Chain A
Amino acid sequence: MSASASSSPQAAPGAGAPLLEVRGVAKRFGAREVLKSISLDIAAGEFLTLLGESGSGKTTLLRLIAGFEQPTAGEIRMGGERLDTLPPYKRRVNTVFQHYALFPHLNVRDNVAYGLRVKGTPKNEIGGRVDEALRMVKMSEYADARPSRLSGGQQQRVALARALVNRPQLLLLDEPLSALDANLRKEMQSELKALQREVGITFLFVTHDQEEAMALSDRIALLRDGTLEQVASPREIYACPATAYTARFIGQTSLLRGEVRGGVATCGALRWPISGSDGAALFSLRPEAISLAADGAAPPDAVHFRGVIRQQIYGGSSELLEVDCGNNQILRVRIPAYRPLSGEHEFVFTAADAIRVRE
């Protein structure tokens, strides 16, 4: 297996035309270029997460799809039709806003019914659909309450019901869980995932939390300074990060700087066989890919090295070691909970686990 990660990031999984096509979309606010030529496909029924730091442009991309902003260049299509030329109220897209944006003067039932009412849905149909949506998010008993009487989590559920009741083709979620406390967030994550499977609506989810992205998504699109860094499934993006930024942003890693010459990679004291072009190289090595050499039989392509333990951080089920393998080259190693360690030890990893990444 090649150490340099390769994937076809733009292709959505599944057959048929994608539901949403983003083609060369750029957005600038004055002199600030927030998005630089983004191209991305989203398949029907997919749970895709836009992941990125604040200021990476993820919310702007969402707002372009919802119609609250106009792209400076490029186009957005949904089901083959131009979407970016339509006003927001004509798009079959609904949004769950970061701070819920529930209408304070309407009770829960009227909030959920709002979309159906303004679109002139027959009255006898509205009641049933609203009740069903409220049941789906377990908020039936609060139908007559005003939003200000609800907790953050409850408001979140109402916001979800208000969007889902319209049966949009695409649901946009703008950091919907960021305002909730940690426990509630975990709970809502699993409910959200179950809900998406149940209704089968395509979800485009924005978050800055990589764990949340990993837990929920079919695919993750990692944004950095207005460009797509990598688009892949959570497993793929973790196992084969394309760039040093991706490797560092998603999970923990040690970056090894070195070179490849004649089928051998050299990074400081570490050497291992590799196929790939010669030249300077950067490798990402996950902490859990490295283990103590004493821990049983090593596979044939194992790479052994010796290092001095500088730091040991106990984490219950596992421990994180910071290992100095000479010339101040520090590697992070995660091993199952063991015992207090010190001094020099022999470590081992598999050559295939050192992923060659771009800068």
Chain B
Amino acid sequence: MYSRVYKAIVSAPPLLWVGVFLLLPYALMFAHSFWTVRDGMLVHQWNLRNYQTLLLNPVYTGVLFRTMRIAASVTLLSLLLGYPLAYYLSFHAGPRKELLYQLVIVPLWVSYLVRGYAWKTILGSTGVLNGFLQYLHITHEPVGYLLYSPFSVVLMLTHIYTPFVFLPIYAALEHIPRPLVEASQDLGAKPRSTFFRIILPLSMPGLLAGATFAFVLSLGDFLAPLLVGGPSGTMIANIVQSLFGAAYDWPLGASISVCILIITVSLLFLTERLEKRWSFE
């Protein structure tokens, strides 16, 4: 048994860290969301006006819904890309498995900004893709909506978060004991049946973890819309950023942050419940 003093000393630094860098900022954020700004000055007066603005102003609700739509699209697309990739690597890649795994991971080492600018070069009106399309005479003038649109934001975020979706799914698939797959075949299940009855349910925790990553990270992303989003691709985090910066309306920004936080936390809570339901050990 450790003494009380020892326990206190050992647990003090992490508790202090959590307190100063997590709980205190959250408390400040909550407090700010109930304050207000008057004549460019922060006024410590408790009120619900920020939340009213947020719920009633169509600009904010519009961007919030767009953000959720983008995050959902990114989640769906990176699942559609990441799951088959992870499945192929885990079950059919054979000796190429290690190499392919590294190839999937490598993009994670490339800076986010570099990848953003790369997409700009590809999608821009004088970019690589438009040049190629015109060269092939598929289009006769640059296609405008490739860049600075929700489309380009979804594309870039999908590119960035697919490895995050791939990793937990791959880990879950690798975890499935192969005799279970053999047992399924042995009992007369065709490959399709084996996939939907055994492999997919058993990889569900990984799938949920990957989907949560993609959704939550996309939801709070502000660099992709900044780089390739344009006005029609603005996301909620950009609004928060401008409210804290140029607009100097910290209380409204804080109330939006609280909203995002509530969405994120309830989502995490939900997926944790689901993951528990799908784990069998």
A307 interface residue (CB < 8 Å to B): no
Q: With A88-B182, A114-B184 as given contacts, are A105 and B202 in contact (CB-CB < 8 Å)?
A: yes
A103 interface residue (CB < 8 Å to B): yes
Q: With A88-B182, A97-B183, A99-B179 as given contacts, are A115 and B188 in contact (CB-CB < 8 Å)?
A: yes
Closest Cβ–Cβ distance, residue B238 to chain A (whole Å): 42
- Against B, the Cβ 8 Å flags (1 = close, 0 = not) of A81-114 are 0000001111001110111011111000000001
Neighbouring B residues of A90 by C-beta, 8 Å: 188
Contact of A166 among B182, B187, B198, B202 (CB under 8 A): B187
Q: With A105-B278, A166-B187 as given contacts, are A118 and B198 in contact (CB-CB < 8 Å)?
A: no
Cα of A67 to Cα of B182 in the assembled complex, Å: 9
Neighbouring B residues of A119 by C-beta, 8 Å: 188
B39 interface residue (CB < 8 Å to A): no
B134 interface residue (CB < 8 Å to A): no
Cα of A105 to Cα of B184 in the assembled complex, Å: 13
How many residues in B have their beta carbons less than 8 Å from beta carbons of A? 20
Name A92's closest neighbour in chain B (CB-CB).
Answer: B188
Stretch at the interface among B86-94, B118-126, B189-197, B266-274: B189-197
Neighbouring A residues of B202 by C-beta, 8 Å: 104-105
Q: With A118-B190, A146-B280 as given contacts, are A103 and B198 in contact (CB-CB < 8 Å)?
A: yes
Q: Kindly state the interface size class of chain A when it binds its partner.
A: 20 to 34
Taking a contact as CB atoms under 8 Å apart, the answer to whether A67 and B185 are in contact is yes
Name A159's closest neighbour in chain B (CB-CB).
Answer: B183
Name B177's closest neighbour in chain A (CB-CB).
Answer: A101
Number of interchain pairs (Cβ within 8 Å): 69
Residues 240 to 281 of chain A near chain B (Cβ within 8 Å): none
A219 interface residue (CB < 8 Å to B): no
Taking a contact as CB atoms under 8 Å apart, the answer to whether A88 and B186 are in contact is yes
Cα of A89 to Cα of B198 in the assembled complex, Å: 15
Q: Which of A66, A101, A115 gathers the greatest number of chain B CB atoms within 10 Å?
A: A101
Cα of A270 to Cα of B180 in the assembled complex, Å: 57
Cα of A87 to Cα of B183 in the assembled complex, Å: 13
Closest Cβ–Cβ distance, residue A129 to chain B (whole Å): 13
Neighbouring B residues of A87 by C-beta, 8 Å: 185
B201 interface residue (CB < 8 Å to A): yes
Neighbouring A residues of B190 by C-beta, 8 Å: 89, 118
Q: Which of B183, B184, B185, B190 gathers the greatest number of chain A CB atoms within 10 Å?
A: B183
A148 interface residue (CB < 8 Å to B): yes
Closest Cβ–Cβ distance, residue A202 to chain B (whole Å): 16
Closest Cβ–Cβ distance, residue A121 to chain B (whole Å): 10
Contact of B185 among A89, A98, A102, A103 (CB under 8 A): A89
Cα of A162 to Cα of B189 in the assembled complex, Å: 13
Taking a contact as CB atoms under 8 Å apart, the answer to whether A148 and B280 are in contact is yes
Given contacts A95-B182, A97-B182, 7 further A-B contacts (CB under 8 A): A66-B186, A67-B186, A88-B182, A95-B183, A105-B280, A148-B280, A166-B188
15 A–B contacts, CB within 8 A, in A order = A67-B185, A88-B185, A90-B188, A95-B182, A95-B183, A97-B182, A98-B179, A99-B177, A103-B180, A103-B183, A105-B278, A114-B184, A118-B184, A118-B190, A166-B187
